[in-house]
Amino acid sequence: MTDLQFADEVLDELQEKHPRFHPRAYVFVLQALHAVIGGLDEPRHITGPELAEGVRTLALEQFGPLARTVLEHWGIHETEDMGRVVFAMVEHGILVKQDGDRPEDFADLFDFEEAFELNYPWNARP
């Protein structure tokens, strides 16, 4: 079995268990996690708020003004959904958590309209 086949099987299993989220949501959150870790001086545990900000930043970089639309298409409508994606991967053994980590760490970190539309660079006021 190739790594790609394995990855497809894992994504299929995740979507079957959590049909609310598109398989691409899991891949994107992992990409954001790697981007956040890559920006650190030394690898360490990433908090929920740090990862949520990483998802926001990567979405804006990759999708620009469509960032919110893309995330919502994948089932991510609020920061709590980012936590649900993360903890689905923890449950599946893809990610590990520390004892204090909870899905609630992702609660109400930012508003999607504000973060992806109102504060988009061409809308930001000096």
Distances (CA, A) of 61 to 20, 55, 84, 96: 24, 10, 23, 27
Domain containing 71 equals 3-118
Flag whether 123 is in a domain.
Answer: no
Flag whether 40 is in a domain.
Answer: yes
* Closest of 47, 68, 54, 51 to residue 115, by C-alpha: 68
Q: Which pLDDT belongs to residue 43?
A: 87
pTM of the model: 0.87
Tell me the average pLDDT of the chain. 89
How many domains does the chain fold into?
1
Flag whether 8 is in a domain.
Answer: yes
Q: How confident is the model at residue 42 (pLDDT cuts 50, 70, 90)?
A: very high
Rounded distance between C-alpha atoms, residue 107 and residue 92, angstroms: 21
pLDDT at 10 over 70: yes
Flag whether 126 is in a domain.
Answer: no
What backbone phi and psi angles, to 5 degrees, belong to 91? -60, -35
Q: Which pLDDT belongs to residue 88?
A: 95
Flag whether 124 is in a domain.
Answer: no
Signed CA dihedral, 96, 53, 115, 56: sign only: negative
Rounded distance between C-alpha atoms, residue 110 and residue 93, angstroms: 27
